[in-house]
A and B are shown apart, each in its own frame.
Chain A
Amino acid sequence: MIVVVRNLFHAVLFLILSFIGIAGLYITLSADFVAVVQVLVYAGAIAVLMIFAVMLTPRSDRGNSENLLQAPALLLAGLFLAGIVFVVIETDWREATRGSFDTTAAAIGEALLSPFVLPFEIASVLLVAAMIGAIVLVQEEE
């Protein structure tokens, strides 16, 4: 639907719908914490950012049209999908026999603070840098 719908604003709304659908898939995979983070960050924050970006560019084209790369892009995406499906079906996945996780939030919190402290801190620095960069970029010039 994001591909074929004519209005860019409707495409953003369908993107939010697909984000919520992916959160439902996370719940079936017993990843409750990731599902909650998905709804908060994607369906909340990023969706609001995208709606703001569409609304702040009023004189630009609101259409959702394709450019000259349409045929090669379609070909590339189709080839990629065919390759992925072939590999997934042909591979012998040795699936684990254990059941689903119970609650994952506590274990994820411990993992973030003991083996993954350095990436955690780097991620916070990255968020601060992105925030400052976004503010500087959209600032009005004197």
Chain B
Amino acid sequence: MLLLLGARVSLEQVLIVGGALFSIGLYIALAKRNAVAVLMGIELMLNAVNLTFVAFARFIESPRPLDGHVFAIFVITVAAAEAAVALALAVAIYRYRETIDVDKINVLRW
């Protein structure tokens, strides 16, 4: 804990980590077959955005520097609600189709 508190990071490093996390999440959300894996990608992207919010709140001069933290907490709240609804959807679809493979769920195909 004390070691972490003493660590020095710069804004560029955190932003690059956030960008890398967002790219990994984007790839997972686009390219995975399983609906739960797609959700994992979405959560990873939300996390990356939160990381950049907190980094900007820490490093950029502002009259109210804690607004980034407040916004990150709102994003976490919305992510929790979204995960609950989406996983319930996955379970409900599994009841009807016995699969959560997003390639086989093509009821709405034109």
- Kindly identify, within residues 39 to 71 of chain B, every residue whose CB is under 8 Å from any CB belonging to chain A: 39-40, 43-44, 47, 50-51, 54-55, 57-62, 64-67, 69-70
Which residues of B sit under 8 angstroms from A17, Cβ to Cβ? none
Whether A56 lies near B32 (C-beta < 8 A) is no
Contact of A127 among B72, B80, B87, B100 (CB under 8 A): B80
Which residues of A sit under 8 angstroms from B9, Cβ to Cβ? 25, 28-29
- How many of B's residues come within 8 Å of A, CB to CB? 75
Chain B residues within 8 Å of A, Cβ to Cβ = 1, 4-5, 7, 9-12, 14-17, 19-24, 26-28, 30-34, 36-37, 39-40, 43-44, 47, 50-51, 54-55, 57-62, 64-67, 69-70, 72-74, 76-85, 87-92, 94, 98-103
Contact of B91 among A41, A57, A98, A107 (CB under 8 A): A57
Whether B32 lies near A66 (C-beta < 8 A) is yes
Chain A residues within 8 Å of B, Cβ to Cβ = 2-3, 8, 11-12, 15, 18-19, 22, 24-31, 33-34, 37-38, 41-42, 45-46, 49-50, 52-54, 56-57, 59-61, 63-70, 72-74, 76-78, 80-81, 84-85, 88-89, 93-98, 100-101, 104, 107-108, 111-112, 116, 119, 123, 126-127, 129-131, 133-135, 137-138
Whether B19 lies near A127 (C-beta < 8 A) is no
Given contacts A67-B33, A130-B82, contact A49 B87 (CB under 8 A): yes
Whether A56 lies near B94 (C-beta < 8 A) is yes
Given contacts A3-B24, A46-B43, A88-B16, contact A96 B70 (CB under 8 A): no
Given contacts A34-B72, A41-B76, A96-B60, contact A133 B85 (CB under 8 A): yes
Which residues of B sit under 8 angstroms from A52, Cβ to Cβ? 87
**CA–CA, A108 to B10, complex, Å?**
23
**CA–CA, A112 to B43, complex, Å?**
24
Whether A137 lies near B88 (C-beta < 8 A) is yes
Whether A64 lies near B98 (C-beta < 8 A) is no
Q: How far is the CB of B46 from chain A (nearest CB, A)?
A: 9
**CA–CA, A25 to B60, complex, Å?**
17
Whether A8 lies near B34 (C-beta < 8 A) is yes
Most chain A beta-carbon contacts within 10 A, residue among B1, B55, B80: B80
Q: How far is the CB of A101 from chain B (nearest CB, A)?
A: 7
Given contacts A38-B76, A101-B65, A111-B64, contact A127 B26 (CB under 8 A): no
Which residues of A sit under 8 angstroms from B26, Cβ to Cβ? 73, 76-77, 80
